[in-house]
Amino acid sequence: MAANLYKVITFWEACHAFEEEILPLIQAQYEQDGIPDWPARREEWNNWTDELCKDGQISDWQYENWGHPPCNG
């Protein structure tokens, strides 16, 4: 995968995409009361980055070393 690093997205690009595409779905499903559901956000980030890695959009190193985005508390 290291040979393809020029093709992967950055952490901040992933954070932005997560906040724009995934977070609204989490909020609609788990946060109707307006209270952030931190475990749901973190679990979905983990699931989403796993898919990004499997699709080759991020490297194994990125998947194993990234933390959570600021929106996840």
Task: Say if residue 8's pLDDT is above 90.
Answer: no
Arithmetic mean of pLDDT over the chain: 92
Q: pLDDT class for 7, splitting at 50, 70, 90?
A: confident
Q: Which residue has the tokens 């985005």?
A: 69
How far is it between the farthest Cα atoms of the chain?
A: 46
**pLDDT, position 1:** 46
Between 23-30 and 38-54, two packed helices, what is the crossing angle to 10 degrees?
140
**CA proximity to 22, closest of 50, 2, 1:** 50
Spell out the domain ranges in the chain: 10-72
**pLDDT, position 2:** 52
**CA proximity to 52, closest of 3, 22, 8:** 8
In this prediction, residues 40-63 reach a mean pLDDT of: 95
In this prediction, residues 31-54 reach a mean pLDDT of: 97
